[in-house]
Amino acid sequence: MLPWLGSTVAAAPLALRTLAYTSSWVAHSLIVQMLVWGVLTVYNRNGLSKKNTREPALPVSRMLLADVFGYYSWMIGAGLVQAWYNPTMDSWGFEFPFTKLLWYQLPIIMAYDTWFFFVHRYAHINKWLFRHVHAMHHRNDAYLNVTSNSFEHPIDGLMVVGIPVGFVALLGCHIGNFWTLFVPMHTIACIFVFGHSGYDLALDEWHHVALLAINPMLLIQLVTANAAVPMDHEDHHTNPRVNFSLFFTFWDDLFDCSHPKRAPFTFLLWFVSLFFFVPLSLYYEWIWFGPASFFAALVLHIFTPLPNAVYKLLGGVVSRTVSRLPIWDWMRRDLLLTYAEPGQPGAFDADPSRRYIFCYQPMGVQARGAYYTFAGKGRRSPVSKLHDVKLAAGRVLWGTPIVQQLLALYDCCDTSYATLSALLTDKELS
């Protein structure tokens, strides 16, 4: 995890440099493991989070010793790459553009999750490979716990983690900024520990700020669609035929091995998440190279209300046309949404004379909750005849140039008190 290990290591043979850098990454993995373990122990004792799985039958010392050997199989690829590059402190850049690094890790983690899914799934399909290699990770006496993170056969660790992590390190070293190496490696390490913790950690509770303090870049899970949660991997250890992915759910959805069942359509959200990286990068470049013009445009946008005529067009005629497209009915079918028949318990009796605002959007406009709301706008849905069905997009996004206009096109609104009051009282929005 260190950018340089000193002149002595730099002058050593490649094999010794590899051992030294691999050991530094192993130390990093153990530190992450211990930090998360400590935070979760505090959560459990204070009733903030509950462990869903039993404790391993093996002694903790044996589990941790196995973790050390497992981490060496995980980090040998990164150690070899860093030793081969043999960087110095002067050869690294240390600029830390948070927004750019936050989104930089997204395509990397998606690519790694693709590797992880297919290799992991094959380790279950191939009976010999499972019996002699991968079965160690599924032992009943080493059940899900923070200490079972890398409790696995070295060949298993090399196939599932060591090789792809080597490519991640190769990209980071090639770019030459230390944080492009460290950030995705740190995020991968954290998600692995979360996935094997036995806790339900969706990072959406106030006390999860302690976990985000360990790695603020985990915010990427809150703003991207199809992000997996630790419970998904717990289901895999309970039923080894489901949930082979660890970071996202799109491959499990596509191959119909997700639990609980999700829609094949959600695979498209993988592309939505990936291409969301592009405009964010453009905004970042604008801020970095033209801060004066960017903030001038932002101030102009914030203090110049969207013209009433434009809003009526985007939030009226155009949005109604968009919301009546057949795609919402397709989404409802593919997202497995069903509605209770009129008169049945739970049925929603839409009254066209009333105003309704639906504000189910827990993880961002591109997240699953938002797509459920959009799918509810299908022509055959109970709310199709309502005058207003809106998704609350949040004031931060609403205050962003260009994004606001796109949100209005999809008939979204911000969540300010003034906006909600205006919508409920038929006042015009400017």
Question: Which H helix or E strand runs over 106?
Answer: helix 98-125
Three-state secondary-structure class, residue 429: coil
- Lowest pLDDT segment from 34-48, 51-65, 154-168, 307-321: 307-321
pLDDT, residue 33, reads 95
For residues 142-153, give the mean pLDDT. 84
CA angle 21, 22, 28 (to 5 degrees): 95
- Which of 73-87, 101-115, 292-306, 336-350 has the least mean pLDDT? 336-350
Tell me what pLDDT residue 230 has: 79
Distance from CA of residue 252 to its chain's centroid?
15
Place of tokens 């102009």: 300
Residue 3's pLDDT is 85
Q: What is residue 222's predicted lDDT score, i.e. its pLDDT? A: 73
The phi and psi torsions of 359 (rounded to 5 degrees) equal -120, 50
* Angle at which helices 178-195 and 14-45 cross, to 10°: 50
pLDDT in tens, 34-46: 999 999 999 988 8
In angstroms, the CA 30 to CA 25 distance is 9
Residue 385: what pLDDT? 64
Residues in the chain: 430
Q: Which residue has the higher pLDDT, 262 or 285?
A: 285
**228 band by pLDDT with thresholds 50, 70 and 90:** confident
Q: What confidence score (pLDDT) does residue 375 get?
A: 65
The string of pLDDT tens digits covering residues 335-366 is: 666 667 767 777 777 677 776 666 555 445 55
- For residue 287, the number of C-alpha atoms closer than 13 Å in the C-beta half-sphere is 11
pLDDT at 131 over 60: yes
Cα(198)–Cα(233) distance, integer angstroms: 9
Asked if residue 126 has pLDDT above 80, the reply is yes
Q: For the purposes of burial, counting CB atoms within 10 Å of the CB of 216, is it exposed (0-12), middle (13-18) or buried (19 or more)?
A: middle
- Whether 15 shows a pLDDT value over 90: the answer reads yes
Higher per-residue pLDDT: 395 or 76? 76
Confidence category of residue 377, pLDDT binned at 50, 70, 90:
low
HSE on the CB side for 231, CA within 13 Å? 10
- pLDDT of 176 above 60: yes
Query: Mean pLDDT in the chain?
Result: 82
CA contacts within 13 A on the Cβ side of 31 = 10
Tokens 């445009």, residue located: 297
Q: Regarding predicted confidence, which is higher, 359 or 169?
A: 169
Under DSSP, is residue 412 helix (H, G, I), strand (E, B) or coil? strand
- Centre a 10 Å sphere on the Cβ of residue 139 and count the other Cβ atoms it contains: 14
Residue 292 tokens read as 């004066």
Which residue in 393, 386, 385 sits closest to 409, CA to CA?
393
> Helices (H), strands (E): how many in the chain?
20, 2
- Kindly state the tokens that stand for 144: 């899900």
Residue 109 pLDDT > 90: yes
Residue 117 pLDDT level (bands cut at 50, 70, 90): very high
C-alpha distances (whole Å) from 195 to each of 18, 145, 218, 233, 237 are: 28, 9, 13, 6, 10
Distance CA 44, CA 69 (A): 28
H helices present in 46-97, as ranges = 60-85
Which residues lie closer than 8 Å to 135 by C-beta, 6 or more apart? Answer: none
Burial class of residue 83 (count of CB atoms within 10 Å of its CB; 0-12, 13-18, 19+): buried
pLDDT at 364: 54
Task: At 121, list the tokens.
Answer: 């799934």
Q: Report the percentage of the chain scoring pLDDT > 90.
A: 35
Q: Which residues pair with 281 in a beta bridge?
A: none
pTM: 0.77
The answer to whether residues 60 and 141 touch, using CB atoms and an 8 Å cutoff, is no
Give the least confident one: 6-10, 197-201, 315-319, 377-381.
377-381
Output the CA–CA distances (angstroms, integers) from residue 427 to 3, 421, 422, in the order listed.
58, 8, 5
| CA pair distance 163, 154, nearest whole angstrom | 12
In the block, residue with structure tokens 């419970």: 231
Question: What is the token pair recorded at 222?
Answer: 């809150």
Give the other-Cβ count within 10 Å of 403's Cβ.
18
> Does a cis peptide bond (omega within 30 degrees of 0) precede residue 260?
yes
